[in-house]
Amino acid sequence: MGPPGAGKGTQAKRLAERFDMDHLSSGDIFRAEKDSGSQLGRKLGEYMSAGQLVPDETVVEVMAGAITRCTAAGGLLLDGFPRTVPQASALDEQLDKAGKPLDAVVVMTAEDDLIVKRITGRRTCGKCGKIYHLTFMPPRKDNVCDACGSELTQRADDTEQVVRERLETYYKQTEPVIAYYRDRDGLKVIDVDGGGEADDVLAEMVVEFDKLRANC
C-alpha cells in the first residue's frame, strides 16, 4: 500500500519475480480493460482519468475473480488493492473462506512533491509493462523500452492535476485502510520509506520478505 508514485508498481514487479509470487495490480487490470474498449473499460476510464476511485462493488468483483485464478507457489502480492475499508473487508472475507489470510501488509511512503515529480516523469512500456522515469531511470534510447524495444507511453492519469486529485483520494479513502490493518493482532505491517533509490528500497523489502518466509 502507499500513495501513487511511492514505488508500489516498480517494487511489486521485482519482488514477485524474486519470490515466485503472482503479482496482481488493480490499476494494470483496469487499464487493460480500458484498452480493450469494452463498456466496463469505458466506465473505468472515466474514474481513472478524473483521479477518482472505481466504485467498490466493481473493484471487488473484478479483483475477486483475478485472485481466484492465482496459483504461483510463492503466493500472491496485491498492488493497489484494497484501497478502501469496504474493499479490505471483502478481501478478508474471500481470503478467510479460502483459508489463506493475509501474511503481511507493506506500507510505502513518500513526500507529495517527490511523488508529483516521479509521476509526471513516469513512462511505461506499452508492451511488457516495464516502468521508466525521464530523469531517475531513463531508457537507453529515448522513448524506447530497453527490454523489448517497444514504444514508451505516459499514462493518461499521470499529469500533475490528476496526481494531486489521486493524492487527495489516497489520504481520504486509503489511509484508513492502513489503520484498519495496524489494529489487527498478529498481522505484520512492514513500513518502508519509498523515497529512496529503487534498488535500496528493494533490498530493504527483500530482507523483510526473507524474514516473513522464514516464519511461514
Residue keyed to cell 484498519: 180
CB 173 within 8 A of CB 86: no
Quick count: other Cβ atoms within 10 Å of Cβ 178?
17
Binding footprint of ligand AMP, residue count (CB under 6 A): 18
Question: Would you mind telling me the total number of residues written for the chain in this entry?
Answer: 216
Does position 80 bind ligand AMP by CB under 6 A?
yes
Element (H, E) at 122: strand 122-125
Q: Which amino acid, residue 113?
A: D
Applying CB under 6 A, among 16, 54, 145, 152 the residue interacting with ligand AMP is: 54
CB 205 within 8 A of CB 15: yes
> Is 166 a catalytic site residue?
yes
Does position 132 bind ligand AMP by CB under 6 A?
no
Span interacting with ligand AMP, options 49-57, 122-130, 184-192, 195-203, rule CB under 6 A: 49-57
Q: Which amino acid, residue 96?
A: D
Nearer to ligand AMP, 30 or 181 (CB): 30
CB of 212 to ligand AMP, least distance (A): 23
Name the grid cell of 194.
Answer: 519509498
Does position 26 bind ligand AMP by CB under 6 A?
yes
User: Which of the residues 136 through 195 are near ligand AMP (CB under 6 A)?
Assistant: 157, 166
Q: Which residue is nearest to ligand AMP (CB)?
A: 27
From 14, 31, 83, 130, active-site residue: 83
Q: What is the 3-state secondary structure (H, E, C) of 17-52?
A: HHCCCEEEEHHHHHHHHHHCCCHHHHHHHHHHHCCC
Which residues are catalytic, by number? 8, 83, 122, 155, 166
Please report, as ranges, the residues that interact with ligand AMP according to CB under 6 A: 4, 26-27, 30, 47-48, 51-54, 59, 80-83, 87, 157, 166
